[in-house]
Amino acid sequence: MIDLTPRPGAAPRSQAVWAHARTEAMLLLRNGEQLLLALVIPVAVLLGGRFLGARYGFEFDQVAPSVLGLAIFSSAFTSTAIATGFERRYGVLERLAATPLRRSGLVMGKAISVLLVMAGQLVLLVALALVLGWRPVAGASQWAVVLVTAVACTVAFVALALALAGTLRAELTLALANLLHLVVAAGGALLIGVERHPEPWGTIVAFTPSAALGEALRATSAHHVTLLSLPVALIWALGGVLLARKAFRWTS
């Protein structure tokens, strides 16, 4: 018989957060729908862009970096919103918030799991894009813009996903997150450059985080620097975090 004598204590913070990150990443990769969003769709767009894109006016040096933006959006926003919506519905958040992991550890673990999955996605997609012929030419300053914009946009997307999942019912979050995935990919300047959107939408969309990320990434195939991406991404990150902090509810 096991010894039930109390011996309570919290594990080291890093161990608990890392355990949570690994569990979330494992569950995400095991989920077929999430895997479709994370890898299958981006790979299909990449292959389509390489072999069919030019026929429809999409150059591969623009498609390839755009797909990286789509992958970041799918992990940071769509997958996070869906997974968190169901975690809230199933009482996972409520249960884990009452353990030594605490709410802050849960959010940190979730963020690390998103970064782990995203890193895996980007390594695979960049490798495939290079094999298919993508040759980025940007200088160091544009790569710096890409790095800061990507981090800020990831924060913004995760925060907006949490605001959505922490407010609406899980089924509604699922439907809305998938719908937004399509809308943002097609009309949010994530896959298609801002300049190809009709006015006045083209002007408006330039100030969205998806456009900031898409434009910054596409500029790696050119020789210019997209400075507008930085303030747009940073403002959305700040606004998203404030919104999530205010709107998120741990229980359903």
Partner 1 sequence: MPDHPALLVEDAAVSFGTTVALDGLDLRAERGQVTALLGPNGAGKTTLIRACTGLLDLDRGRISLFGLPPGHPDVLPRVGLMPQSTGAWSGITAAELLSHLSKLYSHPLDVAALMDELQVTTYARTPYRRLSGGQQQAVNLAGALVGRPEMVVLDEPTSGMDPHARRRTWRLVERLREAGLAVLLTTHAMDEAQALADTVHIVDRGRVVLSGSVAELTDEHSLEELFLAHTSGDT
Neighbours of 91 (CB within 10 A): 12
What residues have CB less than 8 Å from 119, skipping those under 6 apart?
none
69/109 with CB nearer partner 1: 109
Minimum distance of partner 1 from residue 161's CB (angstroms)? 17
Name the nearest CA neighbour of 241 among 149, 151, 157. Answer: 157
31/178 with CB nearer partner 1: 31
Minimum distance of partner 1 from residue 135's CB (angstroms)? 40
Minimum distance of partner 1 from residue 43's CB (angstroms)? 23
Given a contact cutoff of 8 angstroms between Cβ atoms, the answer to whether 28 and 113 are in contact is yes
95/169 with CB nearer partner 1: 95
Minimum distance of partner 1 from residue 74's CB (angstroms)? 19
170/217 with CB nearer partner 1: 170
> Quick one: CA torsion of 63, 69, 72, 74, rounded to 10 degrees?
-70
Name the nearest CA neighbour of 133 among 65, 226, 214. Answer: 65
208-221: string of b/e by CB count within 10 Å (b at 16+)? bbbbbbbbbbbbbb
50/88 with CB nearer partner 1: 88
Minimum distance of partner 1 from residue 91's CB (angstroms)? 4
Name the nearest CA neighbour of 26 among 109, 88, 108, 85. Answer: 109
Q: Which residues contribute to the site for partner 1 (CB under 8 A)?
A: 1-12, 15-16, 19-20, 23, 26-27, 30-31, 86-87, 90-92, 94-95, 97-102, 250-251
